[in-house]
Structure 1
């Protein structure tokens, strides 16, 4: 039976979940949003464990140092110990790079201007015109370099045992393998309204919470690091969720 109550960690360090069964323990880290100062020490500590580390996406936008975060995450994935999933902000960045004249204002609304600024790119007019939009996109694409292709190849989901890690959510009524994977970084309208009936747990970011929250086999980690200074992570083990 799915868990009915909402559990917020607060000062408590762990949460017992008898039916939680990852094939191997792992550490999951929530939405970063440009907070290199928070990610660097947390990731360093996580890598000191002999376990996989899963980053749940949204490395860019809002916070002050998206450029350094992307470099750090990219380097970490080269170790083979870190799995970086695609968040909706990475997904939208890739769309923006293709259609800057259509998507610049939406990119700004999602916090993308902070990403541009982290690469030293700023607008020269209050409302950018088509030429200005293309200039900013071109500069960003040049500075991203090979990271653009790396972003295109970020996976949408990671599964171990009965635990599924993704950025935003999934259709609770459909097996994960039968769903359109790109939708995992934007979510599903019934994800938070209906519990899964297949016994799978889902660990995710995207939906802001005040503290790490467990409800109906969902583990939510987006504590809005860019605003609160709290970048949340958990260690997922058989039968136990531990504050990391």
Structure 2
């Protein structure tokens, strides 16, 4: 990617897509082997262990910190940008507990119960966030440093890299509430065209991610457009291209090409046909 190449960072990136891919592969092996309660325990242990490593080894040798960053993250940021594997995999495993419950409700056509579960979970998670922020405010009034160390890992909601607990539960709770709203809209058939549009984006999320990165970041780095008060038009035109190309990709069913596992896909790509 142009920006990374220009700044010498092209080999020091761990995109969220890489971390999601690792989580899906490892999670698909673990899910049938672990009950939901054990998954929650595993998530807590991994998250705690990663933050202990981050805090306790923050003053270690640069080589150790460099290799820690893709695994647990660190506070010195040797890499350009990274989504460390352990804390995000911990979030993934805890998310499977909610996702599994959603699938049971959906399979049994218990849509109202699913909506209630999503709303209660979202309120509970956001309640924990508010409680932690109250604690942070009290400790700050007493003169304690609450944005670093273990307190920072627990209370600082702006820490994304590596992700703190407050950061995860705030955005996780917000995401659950959005799921609740969408679930209600789908059940009541509100704005069906908009819901279909969101389904299209969801079906092609990897393709959309790559497209938006190209149009909104890489292309702008290559073209280096000057700032103008009309910049919203540039943004909207790039957004329109993402939507149109996604629609074309989806209409042709090209998601079937995003795999290296099924031999039938390779036959289609390289135009191999069985001999009659």
Higher helix residue share: 2
TM class by smaller structure: under 0.3
With normalisation by structure 1, the TM-score equals 0.26
Higher strand residue share: 1
| More relative contact order, 1 or 2 (CA 8 Å, 6+ apart) | 1
With normalisation by structure 2, the TM-score equals 0.24
